Amino acid sequence: MKTITVLPGDGIGPEVTTSAVRVLRALFEKSGRDVQFIEKKIGGAAIDTFGTPLPQETIDQCHNSDAILLGAVGGPKWNAQSMNVRPEQGLLGIRKTMGLFANLRPVEAFDTLIDSSPIKRSFVEHVNFVIVRELTGGLYFGRPSERRGAHHEQVVDTLSYSKNEIERVVEKAFQLAMKRNKKLTSIDKANVLESSRMWRELVNQIAERYPEVTVSHQLVDSAAMQLITNPAQFDVLVTENMFGDILSDEASVITGSLGMMPSASLRSDKVGLYEPAHGSAPDIAGQGIANPLATILSAALLLRYSLDMDQEAAQIEKAVRNVLSQGYHTCDLQMEQPNNHIVNTAEITDLVINAV
Amino acid sequence: MKTITVLPGDGIGPEVTTSAVRVLRALFEKSGRDVQFIEKKIGGAAIDTFGTPLPQETIDQCHNSDAILLGAVGGPKWNAQSMNVRPEQGLLGIRKTMGLFANLRPVEAFDTLIDSSPIKRSFVEHVNFVIVRELTGGLYFGRPSERRGAHHEQVVDTLSYSKNEIERVVEKAFQLAMKRNKKLTSIDKANVLESSRMWRELVNQIAERYPEVTVSHQLVDSAAMQLITNPAQFDVLVTENMFGDILSDEASVITGSLGMMPSASLRSDKVGLYEPAHGSAPDIAGQGIANPLATILSAALLLRYSLDMDQEAAQIEKAVRNVLSQGYHTCDLQMEQPNNHIVNTAEITDLVINAV
Ligand SMILES: CC(C)[C@H](C(=O)O)[C@@H](O)C(=O)O
Ligand SMILES: CC(C)[C@H](C(=O)O)[C@@H](O)C(=O)O
């Protein structure tokens, strides 16, 4: 029996994970797979109960799982609290503890959303790429990260990488490129940062083992521009943690909305953590109107990468496209087509389940 | 007599600065102002002559100037060289030596360029904001920045700020907001970085002295998205060095092209350095076809901020708009209008001078 740990987290997290679990259950029933779901707390919800954003029992349960499905963490409720206990630490902590070093975010335009997107149809129509973001190193994990001086007049964060940390995620990106269009773009700031120069050298070294893959390098500032002016050039993008954080949120404008962007956080075996790219949206939490599609699409990635259920993964992705093309969507999305129906979280989930 | 130091640099740098100097000379002649131009080397050009990207004579000359006009630095020619001598160090070095801590990049759509831009007209039409980027601190200047370990298996860059470094640039942004629409958006990653938490605290402290200014905070990942989905919300953006680097290049898609984006690097007195946001474009260097408008618009900022010639600055900006609206442009820009003429660097410069 396989085990999926569900970490609903905060805000709309519980609503969107509930939706995705319903879709998964329906598929497991149909295919006769025996999978158990176990729910644990993370983020603000865990702070409220255990005083820590990542309780030991959550860690233990994740280590005994085949996959983890996460909602979102954080919210204004916990912002004012002591800076030593923040919901985001739960998310950063579980990624680190589980060694999930490669965060994949597929970027593809949804036809029915293009007309209301800020970008013109001709620029995004045939876009289909994946961002591979290093997830457990760099500035978001570097030590020291502290204030200094008698009056705390200095502050320091540290961007640190080992060769191995860079190599394993770049390797993963090359493997992915081999299964796709054999084009890899590495993003760095090698004209300024030493870490980027090492990154670029290692990419070039690993490239020698993948002669079929066309490799190019872009500076992060230029890449932030080209993601909008010429997104069709990309197949697989690979970059360090913070650049990946910024660029993948930016790239969500191509999918039509951050509410449509799934993610998979992987390591070398099949265990992975799957979560929507969006946050906890505390302003609409608890109203039953959140868009669960990014989480449902993350569940599809879970089937593909952790459970070898490629076919079922594709079924979910197709079902989501079908439901959208019929004009159904939650209130966060805008659609410029005549037969256009706003539905709530439960309704759109039902529609996806029926379409599977 | 006022002195402007011209640092043409590399690639198309000499061509675009020549254009901007011609425009400035024409204006000084008209207004009877006595201004001398002195040219010095920087970047790759300085490496070729002096073996260093920032020779002492260049530094000395800049310290004796009222303003500096810079083209661009860098190119493949110097990439292969020892990592201790890179053209970019000239640029980073002159900003640091001169203490030019506040980089302003105005973002405004050019009407005739909107239709060929990737973003839909309705999203950018009324956009008008300024990005204030901290320019002499943070990750691009932090020490240590080095490889470590017996086999150089570790690499470290350091993001470091003092309170004073943050306060002075935030103060500048507030002053700018007071002269504009009194709206300030500060960008950070306060949910993860200690430096961002200090940044946010200091913004909130300074905000108390500017009760008229509406202040909001955005996380950098979210801001990278909102720059495209809702750019009209912004008036003044303020952020640290690297976030500003990435976001301002991204924002150039709003202006229609990086080839249209000027910048001013300022400190507390009137001395400033003015340069286009684009790079040295080595692929088209020396052909006389480069787009000089970002540099000409930077010259307008020079008049405004360093020489108190507001009226003349506005004349240049208006002249550039006029020339574009008549359908004239260099080959890097696309225009979707019938009376559309591709001209070269010298021709578009003549057109601007005639329109002033
Ligand atoms: C919440 C935050 C720590 C997180 C990150 O930056 O990694 C989020 O923005 C993401 O991209 O998953
Ligand atoms: C060339 C490089 C060092 C520079 C920077 O990142 O500051 C450039 O990208 C810029 O934005 O002016």
Q: Answer for the pair B187, B169: CB distance below 8 angstroms, yes or no.
A: no
Q: Do A252 and B225 touch (CB under 8 A)?
A: yes
Ligand 2 pocket test, pick from B79, B105, B245, B248 with the greatest ligand atom count within 8 Å of Cβ, gives B245
Lowest mean pLDDT among A135-144, B225-234, B255-264: B255-264
**B282: in domain:** yes
Question: What band does B82 get if pLDDT is binned at 50, 70 and 90?
Answer: low
B246 and B354 inside one domain: no
Q: Do A154 and B147 touch (CB under 8 A)?
A: no
Q: Do B146 and A194 touch (CB under 8 A)?
A: yes
Residue that the structure tokens 């959140």 belong to? A290
Closest residue in A to B245 (Cα–Cα): A221
Q: For the residues A34-44, what does the mean pLDDT come to?
A: 98
A77 and A169 inside one domain: no
Which residues on adjacent β-strands are paired with residue B128?
B108
The distance in angstroms from the start CA to the end CA of chain B is 23
**A70: in domain:** yes
- The CATH number linked to B324 is 3.40.718.10
> What is the spatial distance between Cα B245 and Cα A220, in angstroms, rounded to a whole number?
9
**Ligand 2 contact via A38 beta carbon (within 6 Å):** no
A62 and A22 inside one domain: yes
Q: Is the pLDDT of residue A12 over 90?
A: yes
Per-residue pLDDT tens for A271-326?
999 999 999 999 999 999 999 999 999 999 999 999 999 999 999 999 999 999 99
Residue that terminates a domain, selected from A220, A255, A290: A255
Residues of A in contact with B159 (CB under 8 A): 139, 156-159
B275 and B247 inside one domain: no
DSSP state string for B68-136? EEEEE---HHHHTS-TTS-HHHHHHHHHHHTT--EEEEEEE--HHHHTTSSB-HHHHTT-EEEEEEE-S
> What is the spatial distance between Cα B134 and Cα B136, in angstroms, rounded to a whole number?
6
**B113: in domain:** no
A127 and A228 inside one domain: yes
B7 and B79 inside one domain: yes
Residue that the structure tokens 């708009």 belong to? B321
Question: What band does B81 get if pLDDT is binned at 50, 70 and 90?
Answer: low
Number of domains, chain B: 2
Instruction: Say what the pLDDT of residue A104 is.
Output: 98
Instruction: Say what the pLDDT of residue A174 is.
Output: 98
- Tell which residue, A1, A6, A13, A29, has the closest CA to residue A307: A1
A131 and A182 inside one domain: yes
Q: Do B156 and A160 touch (CB under 8 A)?
A: yes
**Ligand 2 contact via B245 beta carbon (within 6 Å):** yes
Q: Answer for the pair A131, A107: CB distance below 8 angstroms, yes or no.
A: yes
Q: Is the pLDDT of residue A250 over 90?
A: yes
Q: Answer for the pair A302, A265: CB distance below 8 angstroms, yes or no.
A: no
Q: Answer for the pair A11, A282: CB distance below 8 angstroms, yes or no.
A: yes
Instruction: Say what the pLDDT of residue B83 is.
Output: 61
Instruction: Say what the pLDDT of residue A82 is.
Output: 60
Q: How many CA atoms lie within 13 A of B348 on its CB side?
A: 36
Is A245 catalytic? The answer is yes
**A44: in domain:** yes
- Measured in Å, residue A246 CA sits from the centre of ligand 1 at 9
A300 and A197 inside one domain: no
A286 and A239 inside one domain: no
How buried is residue B212: exposed, middle or buried, by Cβ count under 10 Å (0-12/13-18/19+)? exposed
Instruction: Say what the pLDDT of residue B339 is.
Output: 81
Residue that terminates a domain, selected from A202, A221, A255: A255
**A11: in domain:** yes
Question: What band does B260 get if pLDDT is binned at 50, 70 and 90?
Answer: very high
Instruction: Say what the pLDDT of residue B6 is.
Output: 98
Residues of B in contact with A200 (CB under 8 A): none
What is the overall mean pLDDT for chain B? Answer: 96
Alpha carbon of B27: minimum distance to chain A alpha carbons (Å): 34
Per-residue pLDDT tens for A200-221?
999 999 999 999 999 999 999 9
B129 and B76 inside one domain: no
> What is the spatial distance between Cα B246 and Cα B88, in angstroms, rounded to a whole number?
16
CB-nearest partner of A224 from B119, B164, B249: B249
Residues of A in contact with B242 (CB under 8 A): 189
- Which of B338 and B109 is assigned the larger pLDDT? B109
Catalytic residue among B157, B249, B332, B350: B249
Closest residue in B to A167 (Cα–Cα): B153
Catalytic residue among A41, A172, A245, A328: A245
Q: Is the pLDDT of residue A59 over 90?
A: yes
Per-residue pLDDT tens for A252-274?
999 888 899 999 999 999 999 99
Q: Answer for the pair A224, B249: CB distance below 8 angstroms, yes or no.
A: yes
**A50: in domain:** yes
What are the residues whose beta carbons fall under 8 Å from the beta carbon of A114, sequence distance 6 or more? A121, A124, A125, A256
Alpha carbon of B355: minimum distance to chain A alpha carbons (Å): 30
Its domain, for residue A312, covers 1-103+263-356
Residue that terminates a domain, selected from B222, B255, B288: B255
B137 and B244 inside one domain: yes
**B109: in domain:** no
Instruction: Say what the pLDDT of residue A46 is.
Output: 98
Residues of B in contact with A159 (CB under 8 A): 139, 156-159
3-state SS string for A133-177 = EECCCHHHCCCCCEEECCCCCEEEEEEEEEHHHHHHHHHHHHHHH
**Ligand 1 contact via A111 beta carbon (within 6 Å):** no
B66 and B167 inside one domain: no
> What is the spatial distance between Cα A156 and Cα B248, in angstroms, rounded to a whole number?
24
**A108: in domain:** no
Suggest the residue from B228, B230, B255, B257 to mutate for an interface test with chain A (most A CBs closer than 10 A). Answer: B228
Torsion of CA A65, A69, A71, A73, to 10 degrees: 30
Q: For the residues B117-127, what does the mean pLDDT come to?
A: 93
Instruction: Say what the pLDDT of residue B40 is.
Output: 98
Is A2 catalytic? The answer is no
Instruction: Say what the pLDDT of residue B335 is.
Output: 83
**pTM of the entire structure?**
0.97
Give me Rg for the CA atoms of chain B. 20
Per-residue pLDDT tens for B292-313?
999 999 999 999 999 999 999 9
- Measured in Å, residue B87 CA sits from the centre of ligand 2 at 11
Residues of A in contact with B156 (CB under 8 A): 142, 158-160, 194-195
**Ligand 2 contact via A222 beta carbon (within 6 Å):** no
> What is the spatial distance between Cα A117 and Cα B229, in angstroms, rounded to a whole number?
8
Question: Is B313 known as a binding-site position?
Answer: no
Q: Do B194 and A147 touch (CB under 8 A)?
A: yes
Q: Answer for the pair A120, B158: CB distance below 8 angstroms, yes or no.
A: no
> What is the spatial distance between Cα A145 and Cα A124, in angstroms, rounded to a whole number?
39
Question: What band does A84 get if pLDDT is binned at 50, 70 and 90?
Answer: confident
Instruction: Say what the pLDDT of residue B84 is.
Output: 75
Closest atom of ligand 1 relative to the A103 alpha carbon: 12
Reading the block at residue A68, the tokens are: 């983890």
Per-residue pLDDT tens for A169-204?
999 999 999 999 999 999 999 999 999 999 999 999
What is the overall mean pLDDT for chain A? Answer: 96
Strands across the sheet with A146-148, in order? A146-148, A154-162, B154-162, B146-148
Alpha carbon of B353: minimum distance to chain A alpha carbons (Å): 30
Torsion of CA A208, A211, A213, A214, to 10 degrees: 80
Percentage with pLDDT > 70 across chain B:
99
Instruction: Say what the pLDDT of residue A115 is.
Output: 86
Instruction: Say what the pLDDT of residue A34 is.
Output: 96
CB-nearest partner of A246 from B146, B157, B224: B224
Closest residue in A to B192 (Cα–Cα): A140
Is the peptide bond between B144 and the residue preceding it cis, with omega within 30 degrees of 0?
yes
Residue that the structure tokens 């700031």 belong to? A189
CB-nearest partner of B160 from A154, A198, A222: A154
Closest residue in B to A125 (Cα–Cα): B118
Closest atom of ligand 1 relative to the B221 alpha carbon: 9
DSSP state at residue B268: S
**Ligand 1 contact via A92 beta carbon (within 6 Å):** yes
